[in-house]
Amino acid sequence: MFDNLKIIHYPDPRLKQPSAPVAEFNENLRQLVARMFELMRQAKGVGLAAPQVAQNIRLFILNATGQPEDDRVYVNPFLSEAEGDEEAEEGCLSIPGLSVNVSRSKHLRIQAHDLQGNPIDQKASGYLARIWQHEFDHLNGTLLTDRMGPVAKLANRRLLRELEEKYASEHPASPPKKPPLKDKRAKSR
């Protein structure tokens, strides 16, 4: 059923949409998650959020070690008790080739549900907390491009431009809309 799912790439507008809570823990959801793990492994990623496979629901998966027993599923996650700040390099399966420094909370608590609907309540620091924050961002339509400072934006201008052109060539029916001239004039006043 989810065989045709694939990871969508920047600047696909579906990546910018906030996702809706998961209402039912059913077979559908289990199949979606199984397919997401497949895609994450193929792409050699450590985390993948449902909106990255064009499913706008609040769910992400991760595997921080690459060991099968470390597969984790977080449904309807809630982050709290953020403490400290730490900067480190991040990439994103939806923005191939991008690698930028992002500041994240060092310590964090996550409350969520697992695939069976059982409550999860965990705390983590460092790498795992970083993955939680990155994937959680996806559920709110926030991408690494939104976390980049002006220097990183400039440094990665060409890469992002190339991704934009690739997307435009693959989606000729939906060219990016330019604001009408009227709006532009109103703004400059």
Select from 3-11, 17-25, 84-92, 165-173 the region that touches Ni ion (CB under 5 A).
84-92
39 binds Ni ion (CB under 5 A): no
92 binds Ni ion (CB under 5 A): yes
Alpha carbons 92 and 103: distance in angstroms, whole number = 15
Please confirm, yes or no, whether 135 is among the known catalytic residues. yes
Give the count of alpha carbons within 13 A of 98, CB side only: 31
Q: Which is nearer to Ni ion, 25 or 152 (CB)?
A: 152
Alpha carbons 23 and 147: distance in angstroms, whole number = 30
Written as six digits, the tokens of 175 are 């060219």
Q: Which is nearer to Ni ion, 62 or 92 (CB)?
A: 92
40 binds Ni ion (CB under 5 A): no
Alpha carbons 107 and 124: distance in angstroms, whole number = 6
Q: Which is nearer to Ni ion, 29 or 92 (CB)?
A: 92
Beta carbon of residue 28, minimum distance to Ni ion (angstroms, whole number)? 23
Alpha carbons 31 and 94: distance in angstroms, whole number = 21
Q: Which residue has the tokens 């029916």?
A: 173
Select from 5-13, 27-35, 60-68, 91-99 the region that touches Ni ion (CB under 5 A).
91-99
Select from 23-31, 92-100, 147-155, 167-175 the region that touches Ni ion (CB under 5 A).
92-100
The identity of residue 7, as a single letter, is I
User: Which positions touch Ni ion (CB under 5 A)?
Assistant: 92
